[in-house]
Each structure stands twice: as structure tokens, then as C-alpha cells.
Amino acid sequence: MGVLRIGHASLKVMDMAAAVQHYEKVLGLKTTMQDKAGNVYLKCWDEWDKYSLVLTPSDQAGLNHIAYKVEKDADLDALRERIEAWGVKTEMLPEGSLPATGRMLQFRLPSGHEMRLYAMKEFVGTEVGSTNPDPWPDGLKGAGAHWLDHALLMCELNPETGVNTVADNTRFMTEALDFFLTEQVLVGPNGDMQAATWMARTTTPHDIAFVGGPRSGLHHIAYFLDSWHDVLKAADVMAKNKVRIDVAPTRHGITRGETIYFFDPSGNRNETFAGLGYLAQRDRPVTTWTEDMLGSGIFYHTGDLVPSFTEVYT
């Protein structure tokens, strides 16, 4: 029971046509639905629920909310009690608040980000189906991303005022939602300040990550690719389409992921991410990165701190 996996991200975009073009042509998602308010819903070929990305028209970029799917409808009631008991207010949004989606439990993380849990979303199937499927479908566009893999949220961290919503979120996700910690960055004079954490519910190194920054926001949403070669090809696709690449193909020390960071046409950071890293398990020892090796943790090959990693986000 409980949380299964990341379900969708809802992003603000400033130019809807450009955004749809980006997510379809560069990442390979397909539009599955549009609503009267002008929101566009998309999914990857290997996902079976109706959508994993909602684009909403706005005068700014950033995250509206991040949603996780739970196994059973009754989990929403059980988790509501635990979240409220932890001290976080919740609201139950009725079925249909988002099209093709059941009731949603809405609340804010200690960092201020809106999170939603839901149990039901319309099933449409993957593009290869479930009976004698081919390994991949014909007609894939761009990077041909498999699925929305995880999100990284920037969380307010101010040591001078004692605010550390990375640590608060981590405790909340552990105690109220049964996520487990896979990796962490510890900084500060005593090396005991949790400045970044990676957390899982599935067996991948992270289903969500939190990194400390001057204000809360969206660092990136990540899409899964099979292999290092697919990451290279994705970078070719980005160059072809004049996509702004933030960090060209490389490897993270943290999670061992093979990665590209780039920006959508509104400046929301995307990642294409390959490699399952390791089997994340509740009893696997937590990996710790120290402040002096933080650069290697983030980008393993150069080991240099890239300023945009912690300074540029929406």
C-alpha cells in the first residue's frame, strides 16, 4: 500500500505552442488531452496512464504541483490521517478536479511545494501494448523518453535563520509517506546539515530529490532513457532543435545517473536520465557526500561545482 511512483508534474509555461513543440519533438511525448482552460496533457510512450505532464498557460515559469500515485483509493484516507497527524493541512479534491483523474489529496511540503496524491487515472496503455509487445514502438520522436522518472525540488535553506526545509521535507517524506533516504549531502562546520537529499519509494535511487537554495522552486523534472547512447542521441536532438543545454552529457556521482540538463522554452529545467544506478532498498546503507566532494557528487567527471546547478531554477 501507499505511494507507488511519481504520477505527473504540472508546469507553468509562458508560450504554450513552443512548450508543446518542445515536449513532443525533443522529448518524444505525445499530447493526449487538452481542457477548456487551455491546459495540455502529455505522456511518454512507455507510460500507461493518460498523462504524466500537465502544461498550464502562465506569465511565468515554474511548478504548479507534483503528483504521486498511490496503490489503493483507501490509501488516500490513511495517508491523509498520517499527514495531518504530522502537522500538515490537507484538502481532498473531488474526482474530476483534473480530467481523467480520481480524487486527489492536496497538501504543501514544508518547503512550500504543492504535492498531490491520487489513486486513479484513466488507463490508456503503453504504445507497445501488453500482449507480445515489441521493445519499442515505431515513429518515436526526438529522445523518445520512456517515462517521467523523478523531480528535484529546490527548498529554502538559510543556516543563519535556522531554516532548512530540505531536512524538514526529508523527515516529512520519511515519517508521513514512507519514502526512504538513498543519498544525502551533509555540509556546515560540523558536517551535519542536510543540504540535499535523494529519496525513493520504488527501487530506483530517487523518486524525488530536495536541494537547498535561497528560495523554493523547481530544479528539474527528469525523463528516463535506456542507455548512455540514448543520452548522447538526446543531446544530438537538442542541438538540432536549438535547445538550450545547461550541462552536456555526463555522469552524476550521486545516483550514478547518466545525464543531460537542458531548458524548456519557458526556462523550466529538464533532465534526460539513464542508468538505474543501483537497486534502492530500505536496508541499503545511505550514501553520504561531504561538502568538499560535493562537486564530484553532482558532476562526477570534472568534480567542479557548476554554479547554474544551484543558482538557476524556476
Partner 1 sequence: MQFSPRPTLQVHVAQTGECYACAGDESLLRGMLRLGRRGIPVGCVNGGCGVCKVRIVEGSVRALGPVSRAHVSADEEAQGYTLACRVAPTAAVRLEVAGRLVKPFSGASAIPARAHPPTTQPKET
Considering only CA atoms, which of 239, 284, 86 is closest in space to residue 176? 86
Tell which positions 182-211 bind partner 1, by CB under 8 A: 187-189, 193, 195, 211
Q: Write the binding mask 8 to 37 for partner 1: x where contact by CB under 8 A, - elsewhere.
A: ------xx----------------------
114 binds partner 1 (CB under 8 A): no
CA-CA-CA-CA torsion for 168, 170, 172, 174, nearest 10 degrees? -150
What DSSP line would sit under 267-285, residue for residue?
A: S-EEEEEE---S---TTSP
Alpha helices in 180-293 (DSSP H): 228-240
What value does the CA radius of gyration of the chain take, rounded to a whole number of Å? 19
Report the C-alpha gap between 186 and 181 in whole angstroms: 13
User: For 141, phi and psi rounded to 5 degrees?
Assistant: -105, 150
Q: How far is the CB of 229 from partner 1 (least distance, A)?
A: 23
312 binds partner 1 (CB under 8 A): yes
303 binds partner 1 (CB under 8 A): no
Tell which positions 266-295 bind partner 1, by CB under 8 A: 266-269, 291-292, 294
Using the rule CB under 8 A, which residue among 212, 275, 277, 297 binds partner 1?
212
Whether 70 contacts 2, CB under 8 Å: yes
Using the rule CB under 8 A, which residue among 38, 125, 129, 214 binds partner 1?
214
Using the rule CB under 8 A, which residue among 32, 45, 61, 86 binds partner 1?
61
Residues that bind partner 1 (CB under 8 A): 14-15, 59-62, 157-160, 187-189, 193, 195, 211-214, 242, 244-246, 263-269, 291-292, 294, 305-308, 310-314
